[in-house]
Amino acid sequence: MPIVSCIVTTLPEEGKTVEKKLLEIPGVEVYGGGLKEEENAYHIVIVLDAERYSDLEEIERRIKEIDGILQMAVVEAHFLEEFEKIEEGEIYPINPFRGLRKAEKEAERAWLGEDENGEKEVH
């Protein structure tokens, strides 16, 4: 289960409102916030907790839709449990490069002048 701790920076006057909106998003735990007058910003400490990395991306998308947020910075990320589940076959990673190996092999055969069976093509 991926867990990511973050600092969300908001406009000073938006801090408390953003905190409340963050609490409405499943998978977001709000640990509190505070005004940094010297920076003219409000910082909120949050932790994102999801089953898969792709779920974290969805949570991040929802957070970034909140008005008043200036920045979201990752402090620490922990993905070990997700990797262990992949190794044990409990979950399967989504491969954005699916088909890449096949394309590489086809390009190599074309470069070597071979057909799909690995035989030299006669011209």
- The pLDDT tens digits of the residues spanning 39-96 come to 899 999 999 998 878 888 899 999 999 999 999 998 887 766 666 666 677 766 665 5
User: In this structure, which amino acid lies at residue 26?
Assistant: P
CATH domain 3-92 topology: Alpha-Beta Plaits (3.30.70)
Domain residue limits, the chain:
3-92, 95-123
Per-residue pLDDT, 67: 93
Mean pLDDT value across residues 29-33: 94
Per-residue pLDDT, 93: 64
Q: Find the angle CA(78)-CA(94)-CA(65) to the nearest 5 degrees.
A: 65
Per-residue pLDDT, 42: 96
